[in-house]
Amino acid sequence: MSDSAPSVPRAAIDSLPEAPGVYRYLDADGQVLYVGKAKSLKKRVSSYFHGANSARIQAMLAKARDLAIIVTASEADALILEANLIRRLQPPYNVLLKDDKSHPWLRLTVNHPFPRLTLHRGPKHPGERYFGPYPSVHAVRETLKWLQGIFPLRQCEERQFTTRRRPCLQHQIKRCHAPCMGLIDQESYGRWVKEAILFLEGRDRQLTEGLTQAMWEAAETRRFEEAARLRDRIKAIRHVQEQRRGNLKEGTDLDAICITTSDGPAVIEIFFIRDGIQLGNQAHFPENTEDLEPAEVLEAFIAQFYAPGQPDAEGDPPNGDRAHPTKKQASVLETPLPPPEILVNLEPPERGWLEVTLSRLRGGAVRIRVPERGEKRRLVDLALTNAETAKLRSLSGKRANRQRLTELAEILELPRPPERIEAYDISHIQDQHVVASLVAFGPEGMIKKDYRRFTIRDPEAIDDTARMAEVLKRRFRDADSQDADWPDLVLLDGGKGQLNAVLEVAGELGIAGVTFCAIAKGPNRDAGKETLFLPGRSEAIILPERSSVLFMLQNIRDEAHRFAVTYHRGSRGKALVRSALDDIPGVGPNRKKELLRRFGSVRALRAADVEELKAVPGISAALAETIVHHLRNIQETT
């Protein structure tokens, strides 16, 4: 038996079935350490008792005290379930895909008389067209910017569309036909929509041929201004598509995924190609890759990237097995559908298994290959170049952060550069809906997975000083100073009052090994003139206005403020909606959702009449009158 064999009963392993499935090693507290897949559970788990294991696996096995398995119907099911559990439970010894956000799409609301083109992220609604996925919100906005100049479709929300009294700025700069004001009929607007769909589907040749024919017809009938406009549109379409298409054919759907591990941790770059058009690219920095071969990391990434989120799937581990996933991690993610072709720079060890699984997810054949020549090889080389560039930028940023943290330690006279800084902020309007935020920062930048939000509960906390004290009590009361997320420095937005209140809390809780620092804005709240207050120092610290350390602290403080304000706006908005709609007889959750989806806000609802409300599904004439009467009564009494 290997020295690194797991501390679990051998009899339990001998009784494992020779069937496909997923196994989970658990520690003494029942937390998941590692998730793996197997074509034969008995053979795969038994292999840990024989031969050499990597240092990472040896460390995992030393902590393992139990084993849980899920038998699946097929090998493909095992791979999908493994990827889903890894992404959701975030086991500390698996390769982890850090980005858990769903990918954005372009949505065209074709079920509306005047469709709207906008960014969309989340579950898809029936009866609407979606184009993508795009690698980032930035890529979607860039596409929207191009589209607005060529196809002036509306982007305004429904409440703006139904309540507008005059054309908006978008119409004045010729980026919208103002259907809200009746300046274009539905048939003419529909032609623009059809052309935009051809463009987004990559059928630009069909689109430009139709526009060229229309241009010559306009010229022959001496409508020269219209012909000139069509000519300019054709040029714009060809210019944009030349930049986005390269030499790929129309209808080409593929992803190019490349990995580099030279001079540091693994970086994976993915290029999205749909209908022959490059939608953009994105870099990923997977964790726990140090002792794995690059091809193994690439395989784990591909499996997690395309696996659908299934938080309520059959065979989910019991609650005791959960690694306390965040709300975002536990939610269903809108993962992209695998394209028919995936280009890679290294062949995954289990390519056949992966292809079968992805083909099942797609509902059609998926091929993974390493291209040798041609435009697809050029695309792989480009993705690899971008991966290496992303790595250099990341390493450069980390080195800069390390330098700033070292300088900060010298300024604050800390024993060592802080590995983790936490910043807190309070947000409210006239003491209503009071909330607070926590953001974390380290050598790699902002640690977004550790952000936290607080709703202030204590009614006796009547000022920000008392509220900050409450937040710190809740943060540190049940914390362990040995935890990895224990801060070295706590940054408070405020002056000596906040600092003294927090120090009192720290004394009550026996918090040790944490430095507290308050950062107060300068006179007239001027940026660059902040003052730092430290416990035990009578004189404040004022950093040079152009100091890189001050710039870092400002960014951390501002991020805490942004996060708090965002949470406060959401809490206030929910409270306003509840107070206005939840007391109306006959308006339940579904009808409230339909009303807000149609009008966008309670304010727009108050401006609506009975006829407009009757147009909403599920709203009768009697109920529409009740809603109008109720909202107007509220408006008169407030």
* Nearest to 438, CA basis, from 490, 383, 389: 490
Band of residue 157 on the pLDDT scale cut at 50, 70, 90: confident
Question: What are the structure tokens assigned to 3, written together?
Answer: 């020295």
* Nearest to 283, CA basis, from 275, 295, 272, 293: 272
pLDDT digits (tens, 9 = 90+) for 235-284: 777 776 666 666 677 778 899 999 998 777 899 999 998 888 888 888 99
Average pLDDT over residues 619-628: 86
Q: Output the average pLDDT for the chain.
A: 81
pLDDT digits (tens, 9 = 90+) for 528-566: 678 899 988 878 888 888 888 998 999 998 898 888 888
Would you say the C-alpha torsion 546, 552, 557, 562 has a positive or negative sign?
A: positive
Length of the chain: 638
The DSSP secondary-structure symbol of 80 reads H
The DSSP secondary-structure symbol of 556 reads H
* Nearest to 432, CA basis, from 572, 562, 560: 572
Gap between the Cα atoms of 232 and 225, Å rounded: 11
pLDDT digits (tens, 9 = 90+) for 360-401: 999 999 999 999 988 899 999 999 999 998 888 888 888 889
491: β partners:
423, 517
Q: Which DSSP helix (H) or strand (E) runs through 191?
A: helix 186-200
Contacts of residue 344, defined as CB under 8 A and 6 or more positions apart, other chains included, come to 256, 257, 258, 298, 302, 368, 369, 370, 380
Q: Is 177 exposed, middle or buried (0-12, 13-18, 19+ CB in 10 A)?
A: buried
pLDDT digits (tens, 9 = 90+) for 31-82: 999 999 999 998 888 888 776 778 888 888 888 888 899 999 999 899 989 9
Gap between the Cα atoms of 437 and 49, Å rounded: 47
Cis before residue 133, ω within 30 degrees of 0? Answer: yes
List b or e across 193-202, with b for residues whose CB sees 16 or more CB atoms inside 10 angstroms: bebbbbbbbb
DSSP string, 450-473: G-EEEE---TT--SHHHHHHHHHH
Gap between the Cα atoms of 558 and 293, Å rounded: 40
Do the beta carbons of residue 104 and residue 134 sit within 8 Å? yes
Band of residue 478 on the pLDDT scale cut at 50, 70, 90: low
Gap between the Cα atoms of 561 and 439, Å rounded: 9
Contacts of residue 317, defined as CB under 8 A and 6 or more positions apart, other chains included, come to 24, 32, 68, 85, 89
Q: Which DSSP helix (H) or strand (E) runs through 598?
A: helix 589-599
* Nearest to 407, CA basis, from 539, 520, 549: 549
Q: Which of 9-13, 195-199, 201-205, 333-337 has the lowest mean pLDDT?
A: 9-13
Sheet containing 277-284: which strands, arranged edge to edge?
277-284, 267-274, 254-260, 341-344, 367-369
* Nearest to 421, CA basis, from 505, 485, 498, 468: 485
What SS3 state is found at 576?
A: helix
Question: What are the structure tokens assigned to 125, written together?
Answer: 């609604």
pTM of the model: 0.71
Do the beta carbons of residue 52 and residue 2 sit within 8 Å? yes
pLDDT score at 524: 64
Gap between the Cα atoms of 394 and 391, Å rounded: 5
Question: What are the structure tokens assigned to 456, written together?
Answer: 């202030």
Question: E strands of 194-336, at which residues?
Answer: 254-260, 267-274, 277-284
Domains parsed from the chain with CATH numbers: 10-89 (3.40.1440.10), 105-245 (no CATH), 250-311+339-415 (3.30.420), 418-571 (3.30.420.340), 582-637 (1.10.150.20)
Average pLDDT over residues 328-333: 41
CA atoms within 13 A on the CB side of 300: 26
* Nearest to 512, CA basis, from 480, 537, 485: 480
Would you say the C-alpha torsion 23, 25, 28, 32 has a positive or negative sign?
A: negative
pLDDT score at 8: 59
What SS3 state is found at 293?
A: coil
pLDDT score at 105: 87
* Nearest to 62, CA basis, from 5, 105, 122: 5
Average pLDDT over residues 282-288: 89
Band of residue 327 on the pLDDT scale cut at 50, 70, 90: very low
Band of residue 426 on the pLDDT scale cut at 50, 70, 90: confident
Gap between the Cα atoms of 8 and 542, Å rounded: 58
Q: Is pLDDT above 60 for 344?
A: yes
Question: What are the structure tokens assigned to 34, written together?
Answer: 């590692």
Q: At what angle do helices 351-362 and 294-306 cross, to 10 degrees?
A: 10
Average pLDDT over residues 469-487: 75
Question: E strands of 324-430, at which residues?
Answer: 341-344, 367-369, 421-429
Q: Which of 173-177, 278-282, 456-460 has the lowest mean pLDDT?
A: 456-460
Question: What are the structure tokens assigned to 11, written together?
Answer: 């009899």
